[in-house]
Structure 1
Amino acid sequence: MLDLGRLRVLRELKLRGTLAAVADALGYTPSAVSQQLAQLQRDVGVPVVERAGRRLRLTEAGEVLAEREEGIVVRDIADAPVDRRMVPWTRVGWR
C-alpha cells in the first residue's frame, strides 16, 4: 500500500519543483523530502522523479501518481477508522 504522506510530498513537488520549496511547505528538511521520494520510488518500483538542472520534475509514472493522489486519499480516508483526536471534545464527551 502506498504511503499517503509520500504521495503528498510528490504532489507538492509537482506544484513547487524543488526539494527546498517542498520542505518549506511541509515543514520537513530537504533531506527528509528526498528520503520520502526515494522510498516512494522503491515502493512503486519505477522512477517517479528526474533531475532537470537544479529542479526535479515528475516522470510519466510520477505524473500518474500525482494526478490520482486525490482519489487515493479520498478513498483511503473513507475506509479509515476514526481517530478520536480529530473529533472535537466537549464537556459532555465526544460529539
Structure 2
Amino acid sequence: MVAETPDFDAACDQAGVGEGARDGTFRTLTEGGMSFGVPRWSSEEGAQKALENTRRKSFERNAALIELAAALWRKRQAWLRSVSHLILSRLSVR
C-alpha cells in the first residue's frame, strides 16, 4: 500500500517548502491529525518505485554521514595497529 500525496506536494510548492523540509513538515502535520492524499493499493512495480525513491532520498539526506562512516571503516585497521603499537610500547617501558 502506498499513499498518494499530490495535494501535499502542491501545498508545499505554493508555500515555498523545499524538498528537504517536506518530510519533517508532513510528519508534524500528520501527527497533529491532518492527512494528505489517500492510501491505495499499488502494483509491484509501483511499490518498487516507492522503495527506490525512499532509498534515494535517505541516501541524499545522509550522504555525508555515510561517507564519513565508510572513511572511518577504511582507516580502522591502521588505527587499531597504531593503538596496539602504543599499548605495546608503554608495556615495554615499564
Max radius of gyration: which structure? 2
TM-score (norm 2): 0.25
TM-score (norm 1): 0.25
